[in-house]
Amino acid sequence: MDLVPVFSYIYLGGKCRTCHSKIPMIYPAIEAATGVLFLSSFLSATSIEEILCGFLLVSLLMIVLVSDLEYMLIPDKILLFFFPLFIAFRIIFPPDPWWDAPAGFTAGFVLLTLISLISRGGMGGGDVKLIAVIGLLLGVKPVIIGFFLSTFFGAMIGICGQLLCLIKHRQPVPFVPFIVLGMLISFFFGDQLIAFYIDLIF
């Protein structure tokens, strides 16, 4: 029972069984969010490829989200674990066109590296590598949409936070939560967003 997501937290009253210390709320929250996102990936998919792609994406995003919130760090070993999985996935389920996966990786890496150089470190190296790895899985269009959504959400929260004196000037703010939000919206609703803006323009 101790290892059952969410239910173990409720069963144990939010405390560790052995030391009785309080378990941070972030852990059951992430467990619940992961379950909902897995279910959403399954229900919205039209093929095994889409289901597995969703599961892989959600798994990576939830792990790096906890790491960034707790330590403001994206460990290389996490990305190195998922990188070969994403390569294997794209070999088994090649995108159409086939070069979309390597192009997504390249686009994510180059775009984020340029922004990091221009902003003089405003974008962390972990963020650059994370976007590149996600680009390998999702391809060019979704990763670019996801990145710009991430930037938009991050900028809005940053501006509002400073106006409300909740965030100090130059205070480090974890960017992964915005990457997670942007990439999930891009994955689940990217095509609808593109269609909406095309209809809006034309």
119 and 79 within one domain? yes
The predicted structure's pLDDT at residue 121: 64
The predicted structure's pLDDT at residue 53: 98
- Distance separating alpha carbons of residues 145 and 140, to the nearest angstrom: 9
Structural domain span for residue 7: 1-44
Do 140 and 103 form a contact (C-beta atoms < 8 A)? yes
Count: domains in the chain:
2
Do 30 and 52 form a contact (C-beta atoms < 8 A)? no
What pTM did the predictor assign? 0.90
Tokens 């996102």 belong to 37
- What is the pLDDT tens value at each position of the chain, 202 positions in all? 555 666 676 666 667 667 767 777 888 899 999 999 999 999 999 999 999 999 999 999 999 999 999 988 999 999 999 999 999 999 999 999 999 999 999 999 998 888 888 877 667 789 999 999 999 999 999 999 999 999 999 989 988 888 887 777 777 788 999 999 999 999 999 889 888 887 777 6
- Per DSSP, the three-state class of 93 is coil
125 and 52 within one domain? yes
The predicted structure's pLDDT at residue 12: 67
State the Cα torsion 42-43-44-45 to the nearest 10°: 50
52 and 40 within one domain? no
The predicted structure's pLDDT at residue 164: 83
54 and 26 within one domain? no
- Distance separating alpha carbons of residues 124 and 113, to the nearest angstrom: 9
113 and 36 within one domain? no
62 and 157 within one domain? yes
CA nearest to 185, candidates 154, 125, 158, 145: 145
65 and 30 within one domain? no
66 and 20 within one domain? no
The predicted structure's pLDDT at residue 24: 77
The predicted structure's pLDDT at residue 201: 77
